[in-house]
Amino acid sequence: MITTDTHAPAGEVTVDGDDLRVVFRRHYRQHVEKVWAAVTSPERLADWLADAEIDMRVGGQIRLSWNGVHSMEGRIVALEPLRLFAWTWELDGRETIVRFEVEPEGDGCRLTLTHSGLSPRAGRGAGVRAGWHAHLEGVPDALDGRATPFAVKSAREAEIAPLYPALPA
């Protein structure tokens, strides 16, 4: 059985017209530099999210691959080292934006992940709510250089899915 962090807050899901947005906020006791590396370094991204190739500049490409099952290619749209990293991700024929913000907070830092521009109707974009939640559970291990196997991430996503109501077709 896969264990999930039942205390991790669910993503805040909002719908404004034809746009769905999900926001996750997590606090880590590590410094900004370490969390920044977890969301921008291909080696650390592979530990908790997906295999990554990144041309780290605004306009540069980002490619992610999940165990050869799914892949995506996007374009970096914002980059402020140690603070902001955002890229495009086409889902359901829409250009969505994934945005990571890292800021000092108390004894460590806060990571805010916002995925916006998603369709509020069922489709691939609907799965990102539980998907991001499940993947974020691997960040603490990635901060210590430990990878979360793809099968564990998939099982966590299935366990977490009930936190996110079905979207209309």
Q: How many folded domains does the chain comprise?
A: 1
Helix (H) or strand (E) holding 127: none
Question: Does residue 43 fall inside a structural domain?
Answer: no
Q: Report how far Cα 44 is from the mean position of its chain's Cα atoms.
A: 13
Please give the mean pLDDT across all residues of the chain. 90
The confidence score (pLDDT) of residue 6 equals: 43
Question: Which residue segment(s) compose the domain that 88 sits in?
Answer: 48-163
Domain assignment of residue 65, yes or no: yes
**Is 28 inside any structural domain?**
no
What predicted TM-score, i.e. pTM, was given to this entire model?
Answer: 0.91
Question: What is the spatial distance between Cα 25 and Cα 46, in angstroms, rounded to a whole number?
Answer: 20
Alpha helices (H) in the chain, listed in sequence order = 32-40, 42-48, 128-136, 139-143, 150-160
Model pLDDT for residues 45-81, shown as the tens digit of each residue = 999 999 999 999 999 999 999 888 889 999 999 999 9
Which CATH number do you get for residue 124?
3.30.530.20
Q: Is 126 left (phi over 0), alpha (psi -120 to 50) or beta?
A: alpha
Note whether 11 and 23 are within 8 A (CB): yes
Beta bridge partners of residue 23, listed in sequence order: 12, 114
In a domain, 25, yes or no: no
Tens digits of residue pLDDT in 121-135: 867 666 788 999 999
108, part of any domain = yes
**CB of 111 within 8 A of CB of 138?**
no
Which of 33, 11, 27 has its CA nearest to residue 139?
27
Give the per-residue pLDDT at 11: 87
| Tens digit of each residue's pLDDT (9 = 90 or more) over 78-117 | 999 999 999 999 998 999 999 999 999 999 999 999 999 9
